[in-house]
Structure 1
């Protein structure tokens, strides 16, 4: 018997409903379902919504779209799928992405194994029988050998803790729970609370038709131009012919985007060269100015100040009122140390006579009233209130399910002082639970990370299947080693010093005011090398039985 394969008492004979249960029918859940089918496993996907798509099902607010290039975002696993689907824009809007994921679900006949309107309430590990017992909110119960979470990084929306939210008599929505029917803004008095990535996209669209739009901003964010445009027929052919190179490029870059850090340090070049480089990045589409900048932009304070000053100058050029421009320039963090929203004429919105910007840090919102919003300074009347107040990120979706491992230990309790994982995919004391895009995994261009993680999980389950094994559990020493590594690669990053969803901070959620390391900050190639080594060596970091 090898050191990694341990004999244990045989599991109690019990007919399980499924071999694997997957929670969520977004991009990761759909692909994992397809891969597990190839293993011949009996799989059920439980999805809370009425359709597939995950992020792109729930986030249907005005202006929602990719900020990764469309052709780098879609699935890469099927040459036929790549040839059949054509993206209409370089950065596709939400309705198109939802159509794409429905197209994928239909092409591979995935819906027959998905149960919609099925929100998972709890999942308890059963030591006797070695399986997971899963209960839905409707009271139904199901069992499976393996539990796979495909619940997303940004999928647990949060409302601010204002008094009176339920008393408002007009229309109100969180951007991530937008109604399926159209919302009319023409002639309406509209409030948007929040200026993160979602808020920026929403504000740009609402300002086009609203009678008057009032934006309540607590913390300004550094934004950069998206530079989106339609894809011409000639470009379409180039893209399809170039898919192998596109995905090869994504495999090689630091965070799986088309862009990767410039090998030069900021002060290795002259001031004139720096300015020219910044101008080129600012005029280029996508995340290049964030993830394709000088290599020391996110670690050296002086380097970060250079790019921050450059972008601040652009904001001052684009916003006519100097006082409003200064309100829109962040003072508590440098450029790129929080997620950078990409925008299309966002700053010009504040030049419009129908738009007002309110500093809700200087004049805090005290409560929501039946007719609008009351701040410490004034009362505002609104017909519509939009909460662009973000998510309880990374761990939030796990917290909303009662997940209990060995000895009935709640996952939320295990992670009370910050997540501890093995490669972001497994948790000590939670056997046979595999996380797709859990904490401490490589983020960046999410679908590229999704495909890798799904393939790694599939390889593990194939290994168990071939060896006749029924249990896989991360060893404590492996969890400690990985968690220490995650902390190590996050050290020295300016972003690790900043309050944001990437460091686990959310003032709208009780207990989420302490900064933690919630994501893997190393490169995607390094992450994959670590994970590949574990599999190649026969999973010595796991207890297999």
Structure 2
């Protein structure tokens, strides 16, 4: 790629890089590989001491992804696909971290990554035509282009209970788990939260803790993961199908191996529905959520039917009827929030060492030096685990002081909700690109990552061929994209529910109002829109 012609000031600044990437997770690593292919001088700034992003920070017990392993890894390198063997259908965190370290080693990526480099501020310098980056340790960098690879779920949120600093025992957030092993054997343990990370943690802690007390505010609809080992013979067979697997991911709604059944719920008889749902409930992965009848997330009566089916499964699996009822959501239907996948999660509540506390009925009043006090009881604990989730999509951006043209702060610009152009550009923020930003296609994230990285790479190649030094999304194009994002979300039952998918987080000030936080259409439609921009010469982006 021909290097864009620098400004006069940049010509004299040898310390100015072509590109800075924030984050060395799955998207940052792949973007670095592609930037090198373009011949650009790039550096990745990573807050952690190692690569992996999500799979570096989230080390809590039971952490694993819920996309099939062979659909999750990178698809761009046939040698890597041949070299790596997944050991489980849904790999645990240590395995995924090893995989990403293998990628870093294979491509010698660490020489262009600065670790323990948490970005504090990124300010656009119009006169110099570059971004000035400041680290929390005082370090500074300059680059003509800035790419954020900071993750959609990478900013842990803590509750604001009084006395949290008073607790004398160890306490951990699942998203900031220590590298050292935490031993729960014989301990009295509290887990606050029953979202995806809470469910995974509870399953593991229940195996060894003397007493596990789960504080649940909002129950979630969970479905079985049905994980299993992958034998060498099965892995060899999977390798022969990689082209088919990744093609399937390109075609499906959310890039999973599952896609919606073409039939509506009530086009089937009650007996057919029951048989279909039993089949899905017995299968691996997200089929029960994203491979279900096509109208369960838009037709209220259909959603009530599938919700009753899942509720009956919970009642069958939990022996105490009162506990089962506490675990069944009453304020949202199945699939309208992110569905945690579980392995004998509900059976944990049949164990004598596990207690469920409904913290809506008896709220936590404070954390004490020895445990937790609720409105009706005081509990003593040796360890407290906060499985209280993340400030999704926005959070990683809000904790960095991004300043664009004329000093506009991104946090102020997004005060009433994030805006973007295909989740990758923001008007008034020249020469900045986002990987998996707000209003991007989520789902099976690595498939979105690869598309985003390749789109960004092609765009940078285009700039180089034109000798361009500056680009900026046009407000009219952003408005048009946001109109599409809002239009396509109409009629979704999930838009009536508080969740991170609708921009609501009760642990974060200003996150109590539902807003469009993600692209709710299909991944193929998202790609078509983004590719259409490129095919029209990057229409909607001012290039100079």
> Can you list the C-alpha shifts for 1:47-81, whole angstroms capped at 9, x where unaligned?
00000000000000000011000000000000000
Report the counterpart of residue 151 of structure 1 in structure 2: 150
Report the counterpart of residue 416 of structure 2 in structure 1: 417
SS in 2 for 1:98: helix
SS in 1 for 2:132: strand
Report the counterpart of residue 444 of structure 1 in structure 2: 443
Contact 2:6–2:469 (Cα < 8 Å) also in 1:
no
The alpha-carbon deviation at position 234 of structure 1 amounts to 2.1
Report the counterpart of residue 279 of structure 1 in structure 2: 278
> Can you list the C-alpha shifts for 1:415-457, whole angstroms capped at 9, x where unaligned?
0000110000000100111000000000000000000000000
The alpha-carbon deviation at position 9 of structure 1 amounts to 12
The alpha-carbon deviation at position 491 of structure 1 amounts to 0.9
The alpha-carbon deviation at position 409 of structure 1 amounts to 0.7
Report the counterpart of residue 356 of structure 2 in structure 1: 357
Contact 2:133–2:140 (Cα < 8 Å) also in 1:
yes
The alpha-carbon deviation at position 232 of structure 1 amounts to 1.6
Report the counterpart of residue 25 of structure 1 in structure 2: 24
In the aligned structure 2, how far is the partner of 1:11 from the partner of 1:360?
62
> Can you list the C-alpha shifts for 1:145-181, whole angstroms capped at 9, x where unaligned?
0010000000000000111111100010000111111
Report the counterpart of residue 514 of structure 1 in structure 2: 513
1:190 aligns with 2:189: yes
The alpha-carbon deviation at position 11 of structure 1 amounts to 6.2
Report the counterpart of residue 322 of structure 2 in structure 1: 323
Report the counterpart of residue 3 of structure 1 in structure 2: none
SS in 1 for 2:137: coil
In the aligned structure 2, how far is the partner of 1:508 from the partner of 1:348?
29
SS in 2 for 1:513: coil
SS in 2 for 1:403: strand
SS in 2 for 1:208: helix
TM-score normalised by structure 1 residue count = 0.98
Contact 2:191–2:384 (Cα < 8 Å) also in 1:
yes
SS in 2 for 1:66: coil
> Can you list the C-alpha shifts for 1:494-541, whole angstroms capped at 9, x where unaligned?
001100000110111111111100000000001111111111111121
TM-score normalised by structure 2 residue count = 0.98
**Unpaired runs of 5+ in structure 2?**
none
Report the counterpart of residue 48 of structure 1 in structure 2: 47
In the aligned structure 1, how far is the partner of 2:310 from the partner of 2:156?
29
5 Å-filtered alignment, 1:149-188, equals: 149-188=148-187
Contact 1:290–1:340 (Cα < 8 Å) also in 2:
yes
5 Å-filtered alignment, 1:74-113, equals: 74-113=73-112
SS in 2 for 1:351: coil
> Can you list the C-alpha shifts for 1:112-139, whole angstroms capped at 9, x where unaligned?
0000000000000001011100000110
5 Å-filtered alignment, 1:204-283, equals: 204-283=203-282
In the aligned structure 2, how far is the partner of 1:257 from the partner of 1:269?
24
In the aligned structure 2, how far is the partner of 1:472 from the partner of 1:277?
51
Contact 1:11–1:130 (Cα < 8 Å) also in 2:
no
Report the counterpart of residue 465 of structure 2 in structure 1: 466
In the aligned structure 1, how far is the partner of 2:97 from the partner of 2:58?
10
The alpha-carbon deviation at position 13 of structure 1 amounts to 4.1
Report the counterpart of residue 200 of structure 1 in structure 2: 199
SS in 2 for 1:201: helix
5 Å-filtered alignment, 1:474-513, equals: 474-513=473-512
In the aligned structure 2, how far is the partner of 1:361 from the partner of 1:11?
62
The alpha-carbon deviation at position 235 of structure 1 amounts to 1.2
The alpha-carbon deviation at position 17 of structure 1 amounts to 2.2
In the aligned structure 2, how far is the partner of 1:544 from the partner of 1:97?
39
**Unpaired runs of 5+ in structure 1?**
1-7
SS in 2 for 1:421: coil
In the aligned structure 2, how far is the partner of 1:140 from the partner of 1:233?
47
Report the counterpart of residue 38 of structure 1 in structure 2: 37
Contact 2:20–2:42 (Cα < 8 Å) also in 1:
yes
Contact 2:7–2:129 (Cα < 8 Å) also in 1:
no
SS in 2 for 1:338: coil
Contact 1:298–1:493 (Cα < 8 Å) also in 2:
yes
Report the counterpart of residue 4 of structure 1 in structure 2: none
In the aligned structure 1, how far is the partner of 2:309 from the partner of 2:75?
37
Q: How many residues align?
A: 538
Contact 1:11–1:128 (Cα < 8 Å) also in 2:
no
In the aligned structure 2, how far is the partner of 1:484 from the partner of 1:459?
26
Report the counterpart of residue 531 of structure 2 in structure 1: 532
In the aligned structure 1, how far is the partner of 2:381 from the partner of 2:490?
45
Report the counterpart of residue 378 of structure 1 in structure 2: 377
In the aligned structure 2, how far is the partner of 1:102 from the partner of 1:514?
39
CA RMSD of aligned residues (A): 1.0
Contact 2:440–2:518 (Cα < 8 Å) also in 1:
yes
In the aligned structure 1, how far is the partner of 2:136 from the partner of 2:393?
22
The alpha-carbon deviation at position 220 of structure 1 amounts to 0.2
The alpha-carbon deviation at position 140 of structure 1 amounts to 1.1
SS in 1 for 2:183: coil
